[in-house]
Amino acid sequence: MTDLAQSQSFYDVARKVRRKLGQFLGQPQIGDIWPSGVISFTFDDFPKTAFTQGGAILERHGARGTYYTASKLVGTVGDLGTLFDMEDLRAAHRGGHEIACHTYSHLRCSEADEPALVSEVRSNAAGISAIIEGHVPRNFAFPYGATSPTARHVLKRYYASCRGIQPGINRKIPDTAELYAYSVYAGTFDEARMRALIDQNKILSGWLIFYTHDVTEAPSPYGCTPQQWEAVVSYAARTSPVLPVRDVIAALGVKSPRLP
């Protein structure tokens, strides 16, 4: 067995133990609160169009999203186009969207040691609270989905949840050390598959999380078009409650850990 397979199987066991422990402690399960499941829409990085296009589509359906923000990237331009600026961040927050954490510098957490991870947590909290007075992110997504046992262990101290990019539906008492999520990317977009996932989530009384980056007519390989985003959001909103990660976590009674 390779080291990776060994750590994966250990991790699978840890997930099961955590879930059983939660059941034993009487934590509410997703299906107790949302019998037809719940759905979250999230954006990583975040490009300006994630808010101007993606956020506007969510709002038209009465929903709000979660923006995983690396505050060092404010006002920069990269492969995903123009990223958020300070006013985008404030407007998204004012509009009821969640501003969450994606490290300060978009760090590949799988290659970082504990001091580097803690430094990123602190820098991003300081960076975001300087733009939105007093706001400290309570949920996290791993840049590149790259994680490690050390990263999961350290970051769980500071965030109520950490989202990865492993596909899957979060069930019962979800593993908040690495939440499952599905991408919505133009190159692999299949509306029938998206609808099937939403239907399956409803049957399972699960928590389905989607993520993308830019939402624009000519998206990067990591984004989608407004029409594709609209198709997923509108079907989701007709099927299940749509809530930011923050609201699902709060309803499940997951404690917000200490401030960095």
Which residues of this protein are in contact with Zn ion, per CB under 5 A?
44-45, 143
Determine the Cα angle at 48 with ends 44 and 51, to 5°: 75
- Supply the DSSP symbol for 160: S
Two tokens, residue 58: 């969510």
Cα atoms found within 13 Å of the Cα of residue 149, Cβ hemisphere only = 12
Closest to 248 in 3D by CA, of 206, 201, 200, 190: 206
Quick one: the chain helix, strand, coil %, rounded to 5? 45, 15, 40
- Supply the DSSP symbol for 173: S
Choice between 70 and 160, CB closer to Zn ion = 70
Choice between 163 and 246, CB closer to Zn ion = 163
State which amino acid sits at residue 169: I
Choice between 141 and 236, CB closer to Zn ion = 141
Choice between 148 and 239, CB closer to Zn ion = 148
Token pair 């350290």 is found at: 154
Q: Which residues contact 205 (CB under 8 A, 6 or more apart)?
A: 29, 30, 31, 34, 35, 36, 37
Choice between 44 and 120, CB closer to Zn ion = 44
CB of 106 to Zn ion, least distance (A): 6
CB of 101 to Zn ion, least distance (A): 11
CB of 144 to Zn ion, least distance (A): 7
CB of 44 to Zn ion, least distance (A): 4
CB of 206 to Zn ion, least distance (A): 24
C-alpha dihedral, 79 to 185 to 44 to 246, nearest 10°: 170
When CB distances to Zn ion are compared, the closest residue is 44
Give the whole-angstrom CA distance, residue 215 versus residue 53: 6
State which amino acid sits at residue 45: D
Choice between 143 and 223, CB closer to Zn ion = 143
Choice between 45 and 178, CB closer to Zn ion = 45
Closest to 144 in 3D by CA, of 123, 175, 165: 165
CB of 192 to Zn ion, least distance (A): 28
CB of 78 to Zn ion, least distance (A): 10
